[in-house]
Structure 1
């Protein structure tokens, strides 16, 4: 029975090892989709090759020693090798060389990835020459502010491909960590300081992933940590500029198209507007940033970052958010009837910037 239990453990370990290698292009650090991810992936391959090489050499030496220098009889004493300057030099120099082979590209990559100086370069209008996005993490959702473009959105990060995008990271409540596995990272978002870094999204890889990548919180932050996801939409520069223009042209929420949606807008303005903004401008009052900005809610990829984007799931989320994301800030704030929830859901699904 003991042997059977050991085989079961071995089988489970083998299955888990195989599953850790499974992943989609948009959610795997082993399938790089940008310059940062490629640099990090190359460093992983280099360190892995060095480690495997060391293990292989040590294993060969071990096998040779076991067979060549084993005691063949009780009266025989194997040859004792000690005080060899050649051996001492070898096992001192070789590790140093291996460390240098790993350290030089690692240090070079660290300085390259830490260079965010283009963020500080301004044009004649006082705007950053590079695209800068302010990321603010919350329990359990993400806000993305484009300061020069005067846009604030939530949960769906929109970025251009084939150019560096610079990020400033800050948390509004507890420590989180911003991570887009396929693009590179990760970096902490803290409440007491701002971290900065950059990413670059490869257009070819983005096309293979249908222009959608997944981001996650990589720092244990509470009961819904595993559900703190966001989506990254990648667009060619021309399409990104068009998206920016469309967002900037929205001065007020889209007019409801049905009577039910109009009723939902009225309920929303009485119950939800205090925490959720429905305009893209970064002049949104701070109190309206307690919850995600909903100006383009109808175009999102997911409801609450985790549910399929449809009206039924919107209704489920509004009615009982605690069952989907325990510990979220929305639980217990609203006491709406089923009819009011249905109306608000229809109103939210109609909030679109681009058709």
Structure 2
């Protein structure tokens, strides 16, 4: 008959098992390491699965032996002191050789996997230069002349090569479903004629989707808020995105005004007609925001917008920022309200961010940038202008 103590132990174990099973049925985790979507990720995942099953085999064998020993050799009523023994050559050899075999079985696929994921792709890979900065990511497509920030568009079925470097401290690029994390190091100066060492990451994405990641190397106050968002899409969608990004948004520059009749009657060139049409239909708040951006603040010192006079390279590129889903490296949904909130007081949203607010300055690499001193009207207009660039 089961005594009360044992029964309580069984009940408690049952509750723990039930809780563990329920937790395994939770909702989808955005940064899952066990749902790879690339060839690189599959190599890591397959190795993980092999090690997991070796662990389960060891666990079952050890627990089974422990249970057998505890039951078979438990103390019995009236039993005297058992005979003491020391050493067993056969067992000692067995439990030395068996783990060695298991280690070899793990080491071989591990080494194979390391070389496999480091091998550059055979085909014509799409190269993306990834630069980690506190606390955001810069993505530059050198062959296409496109630069964006925090949200990375990539095609499915095409080899990808990420060239990783840091603009300040050590970061680590990690999008779990793409593969293992890779250190992003500051570039060390080398003698002329030599190429600086950078880490690379090679993979091919196999399915469409949105995949989240983040910096995986502590880099300062906002380390945990340095997010990455990868949008994997078809080759056609990716090419359309590139084409769009290479063309300035209609509201990026002030349109040239002129008689509406000229534009509508064909008296102007097509581009001029488009500009005049925008001039007629543009929201005055957007026009006011553009004036604030270029004439009433120092935004252009840090930020760039494709096709405009904004040449900044310190902060994120703002080309077509209105089409991004988030701002602040994944901190906020991209809405005019959240943009205004970010512009007014970025540190309240993301502690440690190196961006001046309306009421306080910011320091970057020893240079102090003054507070923007923007009032609410200017901030709302600036947010409207940025949101309009889609």
Q: Into which bin does the TM-score normalised by the smaller protein fall?
A: 0.7 to 0.9
Q: Is 2:75 the counterpart of 1:48? A: no
Instruction: Please report how far the alpha carbon of residue 324 of structure 1 lies from its aligned counterpart in structure 2 after TM superposition.
Output: 0.4
Q: Is the 8 A contact 1:34 1:184 kept in 2?
A: yes
Q: Is the 8 A contact 1:32 1:38 kept in 2?
A: yes
TM-score, normalised via structure 1 length: 0.82
Q: Which moved more, 1:240-249 or 1:220-229?
A: 240-249
Q: Is 2:340 the counterpart of 1:342? A: no
Instruction: Please report how far the alpha carbon of residue 92 of structure 1 lies from its aligned counterpart in structure 2 after TM superposition.
Output: 2.1
Which of 330, 341, 349 is 2:355 aligned to?
330
How many residue pairs match? The answer is 326
Q: Is 2:133 the counterpart of 1:109? A: no
User: Which runs of structure 2 are paired with 1:56-135 in the superposition (5 Å)?
Assistant: 56-70=60-74, 72=76, 73=78, 75-78=80-83, 80=85, 82-84=87-89, 86-116=90-120, 129-135=124-130
2 CA distance for matches of 1:336 and 1:21? 48
Correspondence for 1:289: 313
Q: Is 2:224 the counterpart of 1:226? A: yes
Instruction: Please report how far the alpha carbon of residue 163 of structure 1 lies from its aligned counterpart in structure 2 after TM superposition.
Output: 2.3
Q: Is the 8 A contact 2:129 2:141 kept in 1?
A: yes
Cα deviation, 1:187-234, whole Å, max 9, x if unaligned, reads 11111352111232222xx2xxxx222121111222212211121111
1 CA distance for matches of 2:38 and 2:224? 24
Correspondence for 1:311: 336
Correspondence for 1:4: none
1 CA distance for matches of 2:37 and 2:83? 56
Cα deviation, 1:308-337, whole Å, max 9, x if unaligned, reads 111000000000101000111113342211
Larger Rg: 2
2 CA distance for matches of 1:217 and 1:12? 34
Q: Secondary structure at the match of 1:88?
A: helix
Q: Is the 8 A contact 1:155 1:231 kept in 2?
A: yes
Which of 145, 153, 157 is 1:150 aligned to?
145
Q: Is 2:285 the counterpart of 1:260? A: yes
TM-score, normalised via structure 2 length: 0.75
Q: Is 2:306 the counterpart of 1:301? A: no
Q: Is the 8 A contact 1:253 1:279 kept in 2?
A: no
Q: Which moved more, 1:48-57 or 1:192-201?
A: 192-201
Cα separation, partners in 2 of 1:216 and 1:60, compared to 1, 3 Å: same
Which of 176, 185, 206 is 1:181 aligned to?
176
1 CA distance for matches of 2:336 and 2:249? 25
2 CA distance for matches of 1:348 and 1:341? 11
Correspondence for 2:346: 321
2 CA distance for matches of 1:345 and 1:326? 21
Cα separation, partners in 2 of 1:213 and 1:265, compared to 1, 3 Å: same
Correspondence for 1:275: 302
Q: Which moved more, 1:62-71 or 1:148-157?
A: 62-71
Q: Secondary structure at the match of 1:266?
A: helix
Correspondence for 2:210: 212
Q: Secondary structure at the match of 1:212?
A: strand
Q: Greater relative contact order (Cα 8 A, min sep 6): structure 1 or 2?
A: 1
Cα separation, partners in 2 of 1:337 and 1:19, compared to 1, 3 Å: farther
Cα deviation, 1:280-331, whole Å, max 9, x if unaligned, reads 79xx95xx12110000101001121211111000000000101000111113
2 CA distance for matches of 1:215 and 1:83? 51
Please list every run of 5 or more consecutive structure 2 residues that lacks an aligned counterpart in the other structure: 1-11, 189-197, 255-281, 362-370
Instruction: Please report how far the alpha carbon of residue 83 of structure 1 lies from its aligned counterpart in structure 2 after TM superposition.
Output: 4.2
1 CA distance for matches of 2:228 and 2:65? 50
Q: Is the 8 A contact 1:171 1:191 kept in 2?
A: yes
Q: Is 2:378 the counterpart of 1:351? A: no
